[in-house]
Structure 1
Amino acid sequence: MSTVHPLYIPTPYQEAADHGRVLLRDGSTGLLRPATPEDQTLLAAFFDRLSPQSRRLRFFSESGPTPEIIADLCANDQPARQQTLLVLRKERTNWHVVASGSYLALRDGAAEFAVAVDDGFQGKGIGGILLERLAVLAVAHGFTRFIAETHPTNKGMLDVFRSSGFQCRETMEDGLVHIELAVTPGEASIQHSDRRDRIFTKASIRPLFYPGSVAVVGASKEPGQIGRRILEGLIRQHFTGPVYPVNPNSRVVFSMKAYPTVQAIGEPVDLAILAVPHEQMPGVIQDCAASGVRAVIVVSTGYAETGDPEGRKRQDTLLDDVRGAGMRMVGPNCFGVINADPEIRLHASFAPTHPKPGKLAVSSQSGALGLALLQFAKAKNLGLAQFISMGNKADVTGNDLLYFWEDEPRVGVILLYLESFGNPRRFSRIARHVSRRKPIICVKSGRHRASEQAALEERAVAGLFRQTGILRAETLESMMDIAALLSTQPLPGGRRVSILTNSHGAGVLSADACAAQELEVTGGGAFSARIEPDDYRDRAESLMNSNETDAVLVLHAPIHEDRSSEILAALARALANSGNPKPLIAVMLSDQVPTGVAEHDLANIPCCRDPETAAQALAASATYAAWLARPVGMIPQFDDVRREEALAAAKALPEFPEPHAFEVILHHMGISTQPGQETPYPLTAGITQHPLFGPVLQVQEGGFIDHRIFPLTDTESQDLTEALIGVSRQISSAHRNALAELMLRLSLLSEEIPDLLHLTLRIAPCTADPEKLACTPIGVSMRTIS
């Protein structure tokens, strides 16, 4: 094994490397796709629109390219020779090209690279995006270098090359700068791509939460109508910017001047909330695009949520129109957006609940459950930073929101209600990073669906959450209890809990609840029934300063008189006196104290309704603290891996090869093999392609089964190894390093042979050296490799 490198994961694009939405530096969007022969007229018009200076920088002449050159650029039937990508925008119903980039094969693994960007779109990062995407496509077809020439005055493109993260060599030849880029992805280029992705995504989401002005299209005069309720929410919550009702049939709505169209407003509009029938939506989107609207929230229904092909088609058309206009979209079929920042006070939703400002950022796919989350937050006295109901999440997804909330100063805890993943590999990459800065708590529905595929997906989700540090809550209320603890208390240093109570029976219940969550009960104790508040204070303060415990659970059951409020005040004094070095959570079995956050001048205390929910919250906090304490993880590079030989051998395999035929590939990957032997409890490990998660690692012995999402880090392989050694009859602690290395080699195998659909290996101690492990392939299936 060679030097290890810090974890980096190649960017899984939201859609694909050669097509889909791209985000620009100013937060606007464009549509990326390969050029086709039908694009010759569009491409010729693009080159004609370029200024003479831009044509000179692209073609070294102020004249445009000939029809023959344009035809060649649009002939993408031989990507091993030439490939052209276009970025397009839409004006009303007509698409036009705003940028094009191409590579053309030269020799010895090199290709000529060239790019041109519309004068009005220069400086928005399009050149770098096209370089990155074309590099990915070129490498897939065997190229290793891009060659380019540019004028020394073309500072924009020189900056693109120099900052790309690719190894760049520059020389001057005949008054031109000759550029040679090594385009094989590496840490520097991937980190550059990731950094740009974060910056551009945040710029695109900002108009949704921080608009300077808002238009409500479909604002009705009729109370109770959706558009009217949204308008009322904006006005009654005192949004700090101008609000414009748009209704072609009314001059006045809610005692405000109404406008027939967005264009008729005559002032800049950042955000438009659209509450009109889907039949009117195409014209409304055109109106917003012509007015320069940056983002839209579509609360209207009748799209993919209907489940019928027509609804899906309408949603595809809507998304196409929105992206063509360069806008971002929440929805359709959503409840809107809230930003409780007192400087903004944006209530762009018809939700009736108005939580107080606080630290929570909440995202929900379900509108109804999103409303329930808002109500829970209000009932539990939890403050809200931002809320978004994503609806059908045709455009804006949870991945975008994680990027945006990562650096939001008012956001301290992120809550997600998910029904499905849009792009799990991208979600995993982003969540690993964000979880290092802020806790993410998630309720993921659908875990009890009865099918083999659903069971695999559920285990993959569980593995993904463990790898990314996401805390999974069983219920919405449990999510709020965990959030109350994490938003008010420090993280524990371990899993030791002291229980402080006035009831022996309640103490036993609390200890059982802690044991069920794998928490260790230490110290604490039960007082008499007539305990005074000051006794709670003194004992809690002592425990907070003790080295024998990591957290304190206080449970009080009123017996003679209810002094729960006094006891909470005493606990707040204890927290203040001790400097609050560890978390404290309370269970007050009293109707005088609601669950949630009890606020006091000296400290805030999270309160749960019973010891079980308190123990769950403490366990989640301890799990998150342990995840943060782990090293970030490294992806080792193995010197003995022969990648090209492994791929060549894979290409020669049929769709369902004999298992032993796969042994040569394992040897190329540095994995030892031996003839298999039947055992009562075989240990197996393998790779399964999941339609949503991509390659998934599955390890099984007897009743033990676990899954992880690739790629694996050394930390993750060690964690999986420890879990397996604890239950295995086949291997022991002597095999710890060998097993961890095997998992890492399987992770590398999944990346190097992407068309491996299924692989199952039986693992056993090596007969020649019992301290080593060897594998026997027992099941293989392949996709035809192109």
Structure 2
Amino acid sequence: MSDEVESAPADYPREWEADVVLRDGSVAHVRPIGPDDAERLHRFHAAQSEESIYLRFFAPIKRLSDRDVTRFTHVDHVERVALVGLVGDDIIGIGRYDRLGGPDAPSAEVAFNIADSFQGRGVGSVMLEHLAAIGAENGVAEFVADVLPQNRKMIQVFTEAGYDVKRNFDDGVISVRFEIEPNEKSQAVRLAREQRSESQSVRALLNPSSVAVIGVSSKGPSVGGRVLTNLRDGGFTGRVDVVHPSVEEIDGYRTVRSIGDIEGRVDLAIIAVPAAQVLDVVRECGPAGVKALLVVSSGFAETGSAEGAERQAELLSVARSQGMRVVGPSSFGLINTRADTRLNASIAYEMPPAGHLGLFAQSGALGIAVLASAGRRGLGLSDFASAGNRIDVSGNDLMQYWIDDDETHAVGLYLESVGNPRKFTRIARQLALRKPVIVVKPEVSAFGVPPGHRVRETRTSPAAFREMLRQSGVIRVGNVHQLFDVAQLVINQPLPKGRRVAVVTNSDALGALCGDAALSWKLEVTRGPVALAPDADVESFRDALVAAFEDESVDTVIASFIPPLISGGTEVARAVAEVSACYDKPCITTFLGIHGASEALTATSPDGARVVTPSYPMPEDGIRALAAVTNYAGWLQRDRGEPLAPEGIDRKGVRAMVRRVMAEQPEGRDLTGDEVAEFLGLAGISVWQSIPVRTSKEAVAAAEKLGFPVVVKSIAPEVRHQVASSLRADLRSPLAVVEAFDALAERLTQFGDDQFVVQSMATPGIGCVVTSSEDPLFGPVVTFSVSGPPTDLLDDVGYRIPPLTTSDVSDLVSSIKAWPLLDGSHGTAADRAAIEDLVSRVAILADENPEIAHLELNPVSTNPTGLDVLGARITLAPHSLRQDSGRRAMT
């Protein structure tokens, strides 16, 4: 972080700072402009071409006046906002807006100036995204700009951003105008640009044309030496340079004294020097034009020391300030098995075979375990990446790359931590729609985060993360062994079209084992178990398999065999492979006590493709994998739904109220009852009036004001969910109100409870709870549950992380175990449409207003004709910059 930011005034909007990936995969830093940028601004202007200056200022201004520089660098960050993009200490772009017509005016004039050397690299698009997000926060509704007709690049920045741009040509100038509120198209454009940029940055890591190795010892074995040997033995097709300060040749490679002495571009620098020397090497890499860094050196935050943490933070700062991406530190390395690259920039002893599984792991130790498991299974890899301490490049980046990679057919991720769950679920969902994503992830907790990983602390339940993965369509497994069980199936077989299975075997006991396992994983056994005789020949096996595959009531065939008495086991395996290759249905196998069966399970399909039928040591392993893949196939077939769009939400009114409350009390506070009703009313949610009372006399007065019948209830946090002990309903007279109040007051004395309200009697129904909480790690987390014991005692709560679609909301509502209480299975059905509408409105409020620290609607009384929100609480609080917000930013 630069000095002028460190010494910034108190009103400096530090949350606007962001590192961003540009179109070519390089990194730039975006931050608000400041008075100390004056000299940088002069340098930037002096380096611009005459054409660029004229297009920006409509005049040939050779040098900015001191007065202009002062005006440009002194802004209030509200009515006048300016951002600069930097690489190193140089400005590469400036974006600004000036509000037109006063503090509350809806329009602002926007302008950009991009360095000639960075034009065409997406700097203007990034600036527009950030300015639009800031403008919306400050109450700006639209941007306007005057552009010369020949400034086609700037016109494209506006028109290609996805906004509805209106143009007018007058007096030789094109005036443009557009609303900056994100719409479906502008959001899609932003996400597509982010994906292309981050994919390109990973491409430079995994497909380098030139590699420099720094840290190879001339005196004996070393980590750097191991990487160098692997590069050579793996057959890397690019150029390799070795940097060493004192010797001229190492292991047959001529050396250079420093990375700056290398002729030509260096795509990837592999750093294996002691930790204390890493920063010096990184500082040399930037000026030398290095694109990306792989740091295999250890001795950073994973040590648990303050010194290691500081060194790691500085490594990230220096690398990003010079436009470089970083894998590591303490990384196991990178591998690309494709014939045109053959990159083994790792400390693995063998290059894994080429194939179609992309693998990502975080720690080095787990990297070794993952590669070893892949080798034992004979699974070929397209790529492998170990993030180490994950200070920069993460699983999110690799997923962005694999989205468009035709050589990768499935992805496996071993995640020890997730630094940005909101972004993870968004990218994982996009990737899972194209190819299976298999995830090994321990539960989210303070104990599960390895030393050195930058992760915000979460306050939500681990169930939220489980639901996030399910919502994303990923296949979650318990360990590396299960990851490869699933990978064997999805790489080699078609996806099942349903849950119906056939079991073919030659052992009654084995058939029963397969059938029981299938049922336990909620698969349907629609054929068999068919048990052949122990002395059956190969043709009998073949006929039984063909019959199973031909059965229209079967989606998957499970074949499990013990050694036959007549035929050889490998002959049976070969028959299974040949039959399976002829059908577009998956098949899994188990061959107990039959040696060589796995090698015989390869055949050629009628169209000439090589087909491998996966085999598992025990039927339970294969059936567990099959169930996971079947669930994934079902997720693919589900309706994705539409973006939430309930009518009657006054978004501007909600934002204005949030800004008003936070301006009055910056530390935040609970909203009053009247404010809660007003706030929810702006979102189209009506809350029943509650009158606070402290005595039975006040309770009677409140009841007479509302009209009988009424309810008296406690709103004390300790008992608010315990309906039976905290509420008296259907009170139809003053005497009934007095008796109810006195009974509750006496009963709840132990809680020191004097928090009572009187409310009109609602239509009888089942109580539900809808909440949203802003979590430091996950952002907004929306929940739904049935009030009372299902919530309080059984933790039967559904979780989802916005933004949600209509299908997500429907899935949330029916995900709880107590849903049968509401769907009519055990009595009268609740109005599902009304419930989903309410959850949708809460999800939108939570997604668009990170200041909503907590929102709770409780109880929500549901009935066949609608619902009544009988109680509500809202707490607003200042928020740290939410990860994966409406502007591109690296985390």
- Normalising by structure 1, we get a TM-score of 0.92
Match of 1:759 in 2: 855
Match of 2:265 in 1: 268
Q: Is 1:580 matched up with 2:594?
A: no
8 Å Cα contact 1:500/1:552 also seen in 2: yes
| 1:432-477 deviation line (CA, Å, top 9, x unaligned) | 21111111000012358789x8783421111111111011011110
Match of 1:545 in 2: 550
8 Å Cα contact 1:682/1:730 also seen in 2: no
Cα separation, 1, equivalents of 2:627 and 2:138: 49
Match of 2:226 in 1: 229
Match of 1:589 in 2: 592
Cα separation, 1, equivalents of 2:397 and 2:186: 21
| 1:356-410 deviation line (CA, Å, top 9, x unaligned) | 1111000111211111111111101111000000111211121111111011111
Q: How does 1:239-388 map to 2 (within 5 A)?
A: 239-388=236-385
Shift of 1:517: 1.2
2:64 counterpart letter in structure 1: P
CA 1:82–1:609: 2 relative to 1, 3 Å: same
Q: Is 1:31 matched up with 2:29?
A: yes
Identity of aligned residues (%): 33
Q: Is 1:665 matched up with 2:668?
A: no
Match of 2:78 in 1: 80
Q: Is 1:96 matched up with 2:90?
A: yes
SS of 2:299's partner is: coil
- Normalising by structure 2, we get a TM-score of 0.81
SS of 2:256's partner is: coil
CA 1:779–1:17: 2 relative to 1, 3 Å: closer
Match of 1:12 in 2: none
CA 1:740–1:532: 2 relative to 1, 3 Å: farther
CA 1:375–1:695: 2 relative to 1, 3 Å: same
8 Å Cα contact 2:505/2:561 also seen in 1: yes
8 Å Cα contact 1:649/1:664 also seen in 2: no
| 1:562-618 deviation line (CA, Å, top 9, x unaligned) | 933222111011113xx3221100112236258799434553111112122111111
2:487 counterpart letter in structure 1: A
8 Å Cα contact 2:214/2:272 also seen in 1: yes
SS of 1:500's partner is: strand
CA 1:284–1:450: 2 relative to 1, 3 Å: closer
SS of 1:467's partner is: helix
8 Å Cα contact 2:569/2:594 also seen in 1: no
8 Å Cα contact 1:672/1:773 also seen in 2: no
| 1:485-508 deviation line (CA, Å, top 9, x unaligned) | 000111111111111111211222
Cα separation, 1, equivalents of 2:561 and 2:832: 46
Q: Is 1:711 matched up with 2:834?
A: no
8 Å Cα contact 2:676/2:872 also seen in 1: no
8 Å Cα contact 1:24/1:30 also seen in 2: yes
CA 1:444–1:354: 2 relative to 1, 3 Å: same
Flag structure 2 segments of 5+ consecutive residues without an equivalent.
1-12, 449-456, 606-610, 663-667, 691-710, 714-721, 725-765, 881-891
Shift of 1:82: 0.7
1:557 counterpart letter in structure 2: I
Cα separation, 2, equivalents of 1:367 and 1:616: 28
Given candidates 479, 487, 494, the residue that maps to 1:490 is: 494
Match of 1:723 in 2: 815
8 Å Cα contact 2:577/2:600 also seen in 1: no
Shift of 1:31: 1.1
Shift of 1:49: 2.0
Match of 1:528 in 2: 533
2:235 counterpart letter in structure 1: H
CA 1:682–1:188: 2 relative to 1, 3 Å: closer
Match of 1:473 in 2: 477
1:708 counterpart letter in structure 2: R
| 1:609-641 deviation line (CA, Å, top 9, x unaligned) | 212211111111111111111122212322222
Q: How does 1:394-413 map to 2 (within 5 A)?
A: 394-413=391-410
8 Å Cα contact 1:300/1:332 also seen in 2: yes
| 1:155-200 deviation line (CA, Å, top 9, x unaligned) | 2112212212122222233322222232221122212212211222
SS of 2:429's partner is: helix
Given candidates 760, 769, 774, the residue that maps to 2:868 is: 774
SS of 2:516's partner is: helix
Q: Is 1:51 matched up with 2:45?
A: no
Given candidates 661, 670, 674, the residue that maps to 1:656 is: 670
8 Å Cα contact 1:730/1:765 also seen in 2: no
SS of 1:510's partner is: helix
Q: Is 1:740 matched up with 2:738?
A: no
Flag structure 1 segments of 5+ consecutive residues without an equivalent.
1-14
| 1:683-713 deviation line (CA, Å, top 9, x unaligned) | 3221122110011012233122221111221
Further displaced range: 558-567 or 599-608: 558-567
8 Å Cα contact 2:425/2:472 also seen in 1: yes
CA 1:753–1:268: 2 relative to 1, 3 Å: closer
Cα separation, 1, equivalents of 2:220 and 2:500: 55
| 1:35-56 deviation line (CA, Å, top 9, x unaligned) | 1222222222212222222222
CA 1:455–1:141: 2 relative to 1, 3 Å: closer
Given candidates 464, 467, 492, the residue that maps to 2:468 is: 464
Cα separation, 1, equivalents of 2:531 and 2:299: 59
Match of 1:169 in 2: 166
SS of 1:360's partner is: strand
Further displaced range: 335-344 or 422-431: 422-431
Match of 1:3 in 2: none
Cα separation, 2, equivalents of 1:562 and 1:84: 79
Shift of 1:336: 0.9
**How many residues are treated as equivalent by the alignment?**
762
| 1:2-36 deviation line (CA, Å, top 9, x unaligned) | xxxxxxxxxxxxx9983222222222221111112
CA 1:276–1:112: 2 relative to 1, 3 Å: same
1:773 counterpart letter in structure 2: L
Cα separation, 1, equivalents of 2:853 and 2:27: 35
Cα separation, 2, equivalents of 1:199 and 1:517: 39
Given candidates 753, 759, 776, the residue that maps to 1:691 is: 776
SS of 1:250's partner is: coil
Match of 2:9 in 1: none
CA 1:652–1:24: 2 relative to 1, 3 Å: closer
CA 1:391–1:572: 2 relative to 1, 3 Å: same
| 1:232-287 deviation line (CA, Å, top 9, x unaligned) | 00101111112112211221111221222222221322111111122222332233
8 Å Cα contact 2:784/2:813 also seen in 1: no
Cα separation, 2, equivalents of 1:685 and 1:271: 50
8 Å Cα contact 1:380/1:596 also seen in 2: no
Cα separation, 2, equivalents of 1:594 and 1:378: 18
CA 1:591–1:306: 2 relative to 1, 3 Å: farther
CA 1:424–1:41: 2 relative to 1, 3 Å: same
Cα separation, 2, equivalents of 1:151 and 1:448: 55
Match of 2:616 in 1: 608
Cα separation, 2, equivalents of 1:778 and 1:665: 11
SS of 1:258's partner is: strand
CA 1:499–1:117: 2 relative to 1, 3 Å: same
Cα separation, 1, equivalents of 2:14 and 2:503: 53
Cα separation, 2, equivalents of 1:762 and 1:142: 32
Match of 1:10 in 2: none
